[in-house]
Chain A
Amino acid sequence: MNKVVENAEIAIQDITSGSVLMLGGFGLCGIPENCINAIVKKGINNLVCISNNAGVDDFGIGLMLQKNQVKKMISSYVGENSIFEQQMLSGELEVELIPQGTLATRCWMGGAGIPAFYTPAGVGTEVAINKEHRDFHNKKYIMEEWLKSDFSIIKAWKGDTHGNLIFKDTARNFNPMMAMAGKTTIVEVEILLPAGELDPNHIHTPGIFVNRIFQGTNYEKRIEQRTTKKR
């Protein structure tokens, strides 16, 4: 049951152009930095990326956009990235914007084997166009389908050789649901431990959802909005 691979290059070696990827993270918090760098280096393209955000110009998914590796982004909020905006307005990049809770739940459903659910989010908006509408208890809902990926690329804080994962603080965000929804799920961790070192009571993502895990290196963990108070 040892899922450990040596590094990011080996972990992502079978990702090919045209693959559907899920990438964990909220803004730049909890993003798989090592795997993104390896994908940029590998130079594959025509990727469909499902991620809540699209990074900033020179970090995160922004690095993949710079190299024109992304064909389509599926996100809820893409506001902090001018390269993204240029590529979207010029038509180079296809973009599907969906409500954040719908995105999270669609990923979870993809992993949980539930093909569709009804949500009130987006009723009466352009999100609802061409979607099935249904009333429950006198309220309108729209049907949304599951999302799955060829490869889910996940960042966790601690992991073990079985692929059990613990996330830190708000770096958890979309990572657990996306880990469930990948045909192949690749995880990079800050701290990789032998099986038995993590308390089973504290596991956020059980190893059954994980195919490969490696010890990440050189984390930059960039802060998007550094807000502080004076001492």
Chain B
Amino acid sequence: MLDKNQIAKRIAKELKDGYYVNLGIGIPTLVANYIPEGVDVVLQSENGLLGMGPFPFEGEEDADLINAGKQTITTLPGSAFFDSCTSFAMIRGEHVDLTVLGAMEVSDKGDISNWKIPGKMVKGMGGAMDLVASAKNIIVAMQHVNREGQSKLLSECTLPITGLNCVKKVVTELGFFEITEEGFLLIERAPGVTVEEIRSKTEGRLVASDDAPEMVL
């Protein structure tokens, strides 16, 4: 089974040299810690920054310099600031190469729900609907099952939809999946996880061969 950092580490292996990448809040943010050596990517923060750097040293925080999660950050050589309209032109105009975001549910058709739990949590969609509607390549980082042990990889999302038919890949604590016409295609098992366990915890259509390889981190 993968922990949050290992999920981030696996996703980081999907980054390619020259990519502009938007990382969502939560596990996706951790991907920045595992960018492979020799791979040069630029992180886009949708509140108006290309070239997001690490957290500042204590005492050097600047209230004017935050990321989309409202955390204090820094710039890097080559960074650029811009307004929100320009930021979403980058996103909607498909200039961003890869989007990594969290999800509450994903369907075997690539639908995603991540913005609202009716009656419980209504925080808003922020930039998520714009991102999923236009991104060329979306990887979702999520937990495979909820606290009650129920699958979050479903045949149909039960929560309000953020976007339809948009997720390309999913990484959970149990494995790495691609969304195909036939549903969730198991590409790699997490270390120590059996195909049987993945089958039992996936409600949506799953294509998993018994000799699916184990993930190498």
Contacts and interface: CB of A to CB of B under 8 A. Distances in A.
A224 B84 CA distance: 19
Nearest to B132: A121
A120 B127 contact: no
Given A77-B126, A125-B160, A223 B63 contact: yes
B133 A122 contact: yes
B70 A78 contact: no
B202 to A, nearest CB: 23
Interface stretch (B51-59, B180-188, B189-197, B206-214): B51-59
Contacts of A175: 83
B163 A101 contact: no
Contacts of B47: 26-27, 29, 170, 173
A37 interface: no
Interface stretch (B8-16, B85-93, B141-149, B171-179): B85-93
B48 A99 contact: no
Contacts of B70: 26-29, 80, 224-225
B127 A168 contact: no
A27 to B, nearest CB: 4
At the interface, is chain B mostly helix, strand, loop or mixed?
Answer: loop
A30 interface: yes
A198 interface: no
B151 interface: no
**For the side of the interface on B, what is the size category?**
35 or more
A97 B61 CA distance: 30
Interface string A67-88: 0000000011111100001001
B161 A124 contact: yes
B83 A176 contact: yes
B103 interface: no
B84 A174 contact: yes
B48 A121 contact: no
A210 B88 CA distance: 24
Contact of B57 (A127, A168, A225, A229): A229
Nearest to A180: B85
Contact of B84 (A169, A173, A226, A231): A173
**For the side of the interface on A, what is the size category?**
35 or more
Contacts of B126: 76-77, 99-100
Interface string A155-195: 00100000000011111111111000000000000000000
Contacts of A169: 49, 62, 64-65, 75, 81
Contacts of B56: 228-229
A14 interface: no
A104 interface: yes
Task: Give the most central of B72, B83, B134, B163: most A CB within 10 Å.
Answer: B83
A108 interface: yes
Contacts of B122: 78, 85, 88, 95, 97
B81 A172 contact: yes
A80 B92 CA distance: 26
Contacts of A227: 55, 61, 71-73
A174 B130 contact: no
A191 B57 CA distance: 27
A119 interface: yes
Contacts of A26: 47-48, 66, 68, 70, 84
Interface of A: 26-30, 52, 75-80, 85, 88, 95, 97, 99-105, 107-108, 119-127, 157, 167-177, 204, 221-231
30 contacts: A26-B70, A28-B63, A29-B47, A78-B123, A99-B128, A99-B129, A100-B46, A100-B125, A101-B92, A101-B127, A102-B130, A119-B130, A121-B129, A122-B129, A122-B133, A123-B164, A125-B161, A126-B160, A126-B161, A169-B49, A169-B81, A170-B81, A173-B83, A204-B83, A222-B63, A225-B66, A225-B70, A226-B72, A228-B55, A230-B57
